[in-house]
Amino acid sequence: MKKVEAIIRPAKLNEVKEALELIGIRGMTVSHVIGCGTQMGLTSVYRGQVYNINLLEKIKIEIVAEDRFIDQIIKKISEAARSGEIGDGKIFVYPVEKAVRIRTGESGPDAI
């Protein structure tokens, strides 16, 4: 099992969700996060004052899936979240040692 973590633009959440549903992925955790990367924020002018906003709002999607689905998940997220502009986000993949469904006690791939 692996955990896929994707940091994307908030405006792309519905597109990513729909793309993942097409391949049967419905279980995910979605969080509102702030951060900065290569984009390094935005510069804005309000009433003549220049403001640097270096922590931008993003969405973090977390999905735990069997190894055989990981490449498909990455492909769908990449396609749906891509705008071609700086700040589209990143995808990280981590190994998952164990998963347990609290309600039933199932573990491993049966728990996801």
Report the pLDDT value the prediction gives residue 2, as an integer from 0 to 100.
Answer: 97
Report the pLDDT value the prediction gives residue 40, as an integer from 0 to 100.
Answer: 65
Residues of the chain with pLDDT under 50: none
On whether the 2-111 domain is CATH 3.40.50.2000, my answer is no
Report the pLDDT value the prediction gives residue 56, as an integer from 0 to 100.
Answer: 86
Q: Which of 54, 15, 61 has the alpha carbon at shortest distance from 34?
A: 54
CA–centroid distance for 112 within its chain: 18
Which burial class, exposed, middle or buried, applies to 111 when counting CB atoms under 10 A from its CB (0-12, 13-18, 19+)? middle
Report the pLDDT value the prediction gives residue 11, as an integer from 0 to 100.
Answer: 97
Calpha distance 81→88 (Å, rounded):
7
Report the pLDDT value the prediction gives residue 35, as an integer from 0 to 100.
Answer: 86
Say what the pTM is: 0.86
Q: Which of 60, 57, 56 has the alpha carbon at shortest distance from 5?
A: 60
